[in-house]
Amino acid sequence: MTGINIEIVEQAALSLGVSSRSDIIPLKRAIKMIEQPGNFLVGLARTPDRESHFNWIAPLVPTRIGMLSWEDGSISSSPLRGEICVHYSTPMESWLKQHNHPDYIVVKNEEACLKLLTNHLVKYWFTEFHLAHYLIQQQGLDNNHLIENEVIMEPHLYMASSLNTPDSVIHLWRNQLEEMRKNGLFEKTIRRYINDY
């Protein structure tokens, strides 16, 4: 499995001499799994409602989250399924609920939102901008058609652990990640994924 945050943490693990394996699983299940020693959440947005529930080990990648549209000159003959597409159980879905937005659909993964957007079945994809650009590249689509309409949140994505993680473990990872940041390894990793970061 690859991705900016995962690759950064895997490099840190290698430097620390720690074996690592990454899995993408639903957040609710992941929260239960990090109660087991040696398990961490990678790429978790640090939001006010989550603040007291985790040990925030270190920031990984700064993000911009907001509304994206797709303009390629084509028009769908099918009716819109909703104004906005959002991945379930994310800060973006929470934001829409908190603001009582009247017209959005919730899907199981970001790729589903991308498909709906590029087929003009939704007006906007509410997601993290760098992730969107990366997924578009992976699909072989033209990023020039992606329009960044509005930035709504700018959180950092973090490496996080359960509240019962020993301080010694937290400091070990935090120091290694900070050293990598100072040495420019974060920026090099990010640029391999996103050319205009």
Tens of pLDDT along 59-106?
998 889 999 999 998 888 889 999 999 999 888 999 999 999 999 999
Token pair recorded at residue 93 = 């879905």
- Predicted local distance difference test score (pLDDT) of residue 91: 87
Report the pLDDT averaged over residues 127-142: 90
Average pLDDT, the chain: 91
One fold for 4-62+155-193 and 65-153: yes
- Predicted local distance difference test score (pLDDT) of residue 24: 76
Given 3.40.50.300, 3.50.30.50, 3.40.190.10, 3.40.640.10, which CATH number is that of 65-153? 3.40.190.10
Neighbouring CB atoms inside 10 A of 47's CB total 13
The answer on pLDDT for 172 being more than 80 is yes
- Predicted local distance difference test score (pLDDT) of residue 1: 46
Whole-structure pTM value: 0.72
- Contact criterion met (CB below 8 Å) for 152 and 66: yes
**Alpha carbon 37 to its chain's center:** 24
Q: List, for residues 109-125, the tens digit of each pLDDT value.
A: 999 999 999 999 999 99
Rg (CA), the chain: 18
How many Å apart are CA 30 and CA 40, to the nearest integer?
8
| Residues 6+ away with beta carbon under 8 Å from 101 | 83, 84
How many Å apart are CA 29 and CA 45, to the nearest integer?
16
CA distances from 108 to 70, 86, 122, 167, 176 (A): 20, 9, 15, 35, 34
How many Å apart are CA 41 and CA 33, to the nearest integer?
9
Given 3.40.50.300, 3.40.50.1010, 3.40.50.620, 3.40.190.10, which CATH number is that of 4-62+155-193? 3.40.190.10
Domain layout of the chain by residue ranges = 4-62+155-193, 65-153
The answer on pLDDT for 2 being more than 70 is no
How many Å apart are CA 178 and CA 94, to the nearest integer?
30
